[in-house]
Structure formats: C-alpha cells, structure tokens
Amino acid sequence: MVNSEYLKGLNKAQKEAVLHLDGPLLIVAGAGSGKTKVLTSRIANIIWEKKAFPNQILAVTFTNKAAKEMQSRVSKILGKSATSLSWLGTFHSICAKLLRKHSSAANLNSNFTIIDTDDQVRLIKNICKAENVDVKQISPKFILAIIDRWKNKGFYPNEVIINNKDIFEKTILPIYKIYQQKIIDLNSCDFGDLILHTVKILENNKDIRDIYSKNFKYILVDEYQDTNFIQSRWLKLLTNNNENICCVGDDDQSIYSWRGAEIKNFLEFDKVYKNTKIIRLEENYRSTQNILSVASNLIANNENRLGKTLKTSSENGDLIKINCFKNGKDESIGVSDEIEKLRKKFSLNNVAILVRAIFQTREFEERFLKIGMPYRILGGTKFYERAEIKDCVAYLRIVYQEKDDLAFERIVNNPKRSIGDNTLKTIHEFAKINLFSLENASRKMIEKNLIKPKAKIGLSNFLELLSKWRNDLKNKKLGHVKLLQIILDESSYSATLKNKKDLENENRLENIKELLNAMKEFDNLESFLEHVSLATSIDQEWDGEKINMMTMHSAKGLEFDVVFLPGWEEGLFPHQKSIEEKGHKGLEEERRLAYVGITRAKKRVSISFSMNRFYQGDWIDSMASRFIEELPEKNLEKNSFFEESKEEIDDFEFNQDFDLESQERSPGWIRYQKRIK
C-alpha cells in the first residue's frame, strides 16, 4: 500500500515518475516543473515500498545546496529513517568517500588531503619555474583548465593523446605528468582526481565494482544534462549489476559545455541504458503562460533536443516586452524607469537583470548609483570593485596625486617588477621615519643606493614612468582616457593580460574596455576619480532590498517575479565567440541560455536591445538578436520605437528622466537631486 502523503499534490506525470521503480528512467523536467519534489518523493517511495534500505540508495547532485535541500525534504516525509541516506551528496563528496575506503588502489593513504585551487596554482607555478616554462605566456590557471579537461575525459598523463598542432598541449602534457606525480607524493588529490581515481579503481577492480553495483539498488541523479564524460562513466560502472538508474534534467538548460558538460549524455541516455522509460514533466508551476509560450517557441528552433512543451494552469499574464533603445545608456535609463514603476507592486529582491557578459553590468550600475537605486551583483563582483578596475584606478590616482600611498602600494609591483614584500617593507619603514610618501621614500632610497639591484631596476623604471605620465597629463594636456590607454600600454599591464591564454583574463580585458567607455562620460581625470570614490561610498550605504544583477549562467536554478534581459544584439547575444568556436552547437547552446534567462521569470519579462553600443573600444551599429525574431508576435509587446518613422526617430529622445513640457520628475531624478544638494 502506497503512502498517499508523499503523492499528494503530484500531477499525473510526476506521480508516474515516482511510482516507476523498475529499470532505467529519464525524467525530462522542464523549468519550474517540480523536479526536486519528484526526486524526493521517489526516494520516499523506494523506502516506503521496501524496495531498498536507505543506505542502498545513491542520490547524486551537483551542489551541496541541492543535496541539503533533498535531504531536508526526504526527512520531512520519512522522519528518522531519512538519516540513513548515507549516499546522498555531490559527485565529489561521494567519490571522496569511496576513495577513502579504497585509497591504496590509487597509491594514496586514506588520510589524503584534497588540495584547493590556490594550492594547485602554487604547485603549477613551481613546476613551471623548474621546467623553464614562462607563466607570462601560458598562465597556471589555463594549464590547470587543460589538465582538468583531460581528467574529465578520463585520462591519466600516460593516456593523453595530444594534438601535435596544438603548441599549448605539447607544453602542458609534461607539466601534467610532473604535477600528477607530485600530488601523489604529497598524499593529495585535486577535485578532478576524486572522480578520476574512483573510476579507474572501479574499472580495474571487479571485486570492488561488484560491491557497490550490488549495494546500490537505486541510483538517482539530479541535473543530468550537466554531467561530463567521467561522471557518466562513473554512473555506468555503478549500474553494472542492475540498471535502476533515474536521471532528471532538462536538455534545454544545458549551458555549461565550456566547463566540460556533454549534452549527449542526456540525449543518448536511452542508447546507453536499454529499455529506458522517458517521462516528461511539462506542467510548469513558476511562470505565466505568455512567458512559457515565448520560451517554448524560442527553444523549438534547436535541433538537438528531446522536445517538450511547457504549459501552466495559471493565467496568461503580461505580454513579454521587447524594447529598442538608442544606445546602452538609454537602455539603462529605460530599465531603471521601468523598475521605478514596478516597485509599488514587486520587491526589489524579486527583480533581476540578467546579462550575457559581466561587463554589461557597468552601465546599469552607473545608472543605479546616480539615482540611488540599491543593487547587488550575484555570482560576481561589482564593477568598480573588480581587481583589474581597481588596478587601473590606482594607476590614475598615483599619477594624479603622488602622495597616494594606497594606490602606490597596489600597483608598484603590478605587473611584476621584482619588487617583493621585503623591499616594500623597507620602503615603508624609511617613509615612516622620514615622514615621506612611499613614492618619495622610494626615490630617496634609490639615490642613497638602499634598494637591492634587481628591485632597484624595476622600481627605477616604474618611477620614471610615473614622471613621464604626469608630464603627459600636464604638459601635453593629454585626456584622461588616452592617459589610461598609454599607462596600460607602457606599464605592460594590458600586455600581461593579453599574453596569458586564460578566459579570466579575456573577461578582465572586456572590463577594462568598458572602463575606458565609462571614462568618456567625464570631462577630466579629477571628475572621474571623484565619481569612482563617491560611487563606492554610496554603495556602502545601502541595505535592505536590492535589485539582483548577474550573468544568465549564474541565474540557472533561480527564479524572480520580474526579469530584465538587456543587450540582445547580434555578436553580444548570441555571443560571436561562441559561434566562431563551436559553430551550430555554439548557437544552440546560446539559444538554451536565452531559454534559461526567460524561464527565470514568474510574472514579467522585458527583453531589450540597442541600436548603437560602445563595444570593445568603438561605437558599433547593433542589430537585434536573431533570437528576438524567433519569438511569437502574439505574445509580445513592443515599445513605440518600432513604430516610429525615420524622421521621427532623428528627433526622438529616449527615456529622459522627465518630460520637458509636463516637468514631471521620476523618483530617480528626485533622489539624485537630493543627493547632489
């Protein structure tokens, strides 16, 4: 007799997924369709029906948060018996547990340590130094990314087959061999090893493999579309004796190929596990019908998908807004004005702005700072707090004001000039005794030959550059934007970022280009530096409700009442780089990202694009994203710009803070006036 309590509130498809216990099962769970509820109810049913003891159930998630949520929900249903779910956790935590039991098979002791990213970077740096590999040309983080990619493919160093045309792979493979031996010698492993070692142990030791494949009578996996090769291989090995495996996910939300996720694991599940039953969860409990119709119409343009149609019993809701703006600044004004209107109905905590690339937050941050609208950046750092931005500002500050010790300290050895901590310490001591600024102290110590030769060369070159830049600013009457460009060039700061093959550095360069764009809005260096300091101090005053800003990648799994999706322009979204590198597959992943963005919304969605955008140092004419053309007209509401004639457009000013004729001021304009007074 099935306990009806955990079946209450389940729809027909959800109930079917919970009660189907024999053989492989793939649950295609659309956004907001209650997949966590299904998974937890399924676990409860397995235990209630005595199909397995709690310790015979393997339940795998991608995050600790998801694991805790699942544990909590099962506990509410089963009470004390849920505490015996000893094999519920993340891929890494469960593999760590298995590896501790069988560590000797991987040449480790059971008390091995798991090293973090910082430890990995430090170890790679040491190896590169010993092997004469220039970390300025190939960054340790990029090396680790390639090593991690090999591990995700299931390769130990001796199993890697490199592409001889790839100079980076030829350089990195010897480093991988040394790195792997060193962490074994240290009785350690990294996160990639946790799964790789476990897979190799199961492949090479039938007796160990049989223990676990016989023990785990049921296997459940959340977010299966995000699995990589090694994770799917691990699961296959554990289903050797029975195939009661249930995987839940949404192929339309597979957006992490850049970190190794393989959508084919999901699409080809029924080929790997014969006699697979597929159940689609298509009832959405999050969004209005208009939102779902738009999202479904868009994603239907993808060819590589299992297919489903989301529906809801809730109302149609508001039409999806499509807004065209003159430029990025007008876009930020338009969005902020719309949020002002919505504040009466929705909490700011339930409003989100989702961008394709993190540099896009800058114009919105500037706008919110100006009008006093509180905001937070989720999964990232606020624009003026990003390391590369603070570095640029520090360079400008020390050129502007030679007594700015904090700025001097930040960039004197950035990029590296052989000026170590000991040298800085002696400069500090000399400055304190003689009541000098750090810069003046440095100049005096060089005169008196108090700096070690190597550090002296680096410090002298830096001080000469400072003098030159000040002269450029004063005598050549160089503009502040051009000044920063020269600083970045002559200091080798931008070259250091460009020379390191690293996705992180690419993002930093994008942010610096956006900073140069921001600086053009100010008349001189003084006003810009004042703006930066005020922006930071204003930000610190805010508490309570805040608008959420993040990338669409960071938004996966979250939901908000209102979602704004700006910057839907060709080249930016879909991102040109994604299409260039991965072709049609890249375009389909970008479309899945758009689908994720739209389906984060419960009540309202507003999509926007600009006709002109300052991007990568130049004004460009923008085209609306092809994704906008793929949205159904009947579910859309377009702003008046779409109806304006060419003559009308030339004279039309977009989204001004107040109407000149009526003199009606927006709340944002009023707050700004109060602030500047």
CB–CB of 188/110 below 8 Å?
Answer: no
What are the Cα distances from residue 331, in Å, to 322, 553, 570? 12, 21, 16
Cα separation, 499 vs 186, in Å, equals 32
Place of tokens 């977009």: 654
From 512, 207, 542, select the one nearest 373 (Cα to Cα): 542
From 423, 490, 411, 487, select the one nearest 451 (Cα to Cα): 423
Handedness of CA 502, 508, 512, 517 (dihedral sign): positive
From 642, 611, 635, select the one nearest 624 (Cα to Cα): 611
Cα separation, 144 vs 267, in Å, equals 29
From 588, 552, 549, select the one nearest 568 (Cα to Cα): 552
**Which residue is catalytic, options 223, 250, 251, 439?**
223
Q: What is the 3-state secondary structure (H, E, C) of 649-664?
A: HHHCCCCCCECCCCCC
CB–CB of 90/188 below 8 Å?
Answer: no
Cα separation, 106 vs 85, in Å, equals 27
Residue 608 belongs to what H/E stretch? strand 601-610
* 252 included as an active-site residue: no
Strands (E), 282-381: 320-325, 351-355, 375-377
DSSP 212-229: HHHH-SEEEESSGGG--H
SS3 state of residue 57: strand
From 323, 326, 319, 328, select the one nearest 360 (Cα to Cα): 328
* 401 included as an active-site residue: no
**Which residue is catalytic, options 35, 73, 367, 603?**
35
Q: Is 310 left (phi over 0), alpha (psi -120 to 50) or beta?
A: beta
Q: How many C-beta neighbours within 10 Å does residue 100 have?
A: 13
What are the Cα distances from residue 445, in Å, to 438, 463, 517? 10, 12, 39
How far the first Cα of the chain sits from its last, in Å, is 73
Cα separation, 133 vs 172, in Å, equals 10
* 36 included as an active-site residue: yes
* 397 included as an active-site residue: no
**Which residue is catalytic, options 61, 225, 227, 253?**
253
**Which residue is catalytic, options 42, 280, 592, 600?**
600
Cα separation, 251 vs 266, in Å, equals 7
Q: 335-339: long-range contacts at Cβ-Cβ below 8 A with a sequence spacing of 24 or more?
A: 335/364, 335/367, 335/564, 335/566, 335/606, 335/608, 336/364, 336/367, 336/368, 336/371, 336/373, 336/668, 337/655, 337/666, 337/668, 338/564, 338/606, 339/373, 339/547, 339/562, 339/564
The two tokens of residue 392 are: 């640029």
**Which residue is catalytic, options 190, 193, 222, 262?**
222
The two tokens of residue 614 are: 């300052």
Cα separation, 89 vs 93, in Å, equals 6
Strands (E), 566-600: none
CB–CB of 519/347 below 8 Å?
Answer: no
Q: Give me the active site residues, please.
A: 35-36, 222-223, 253, 600
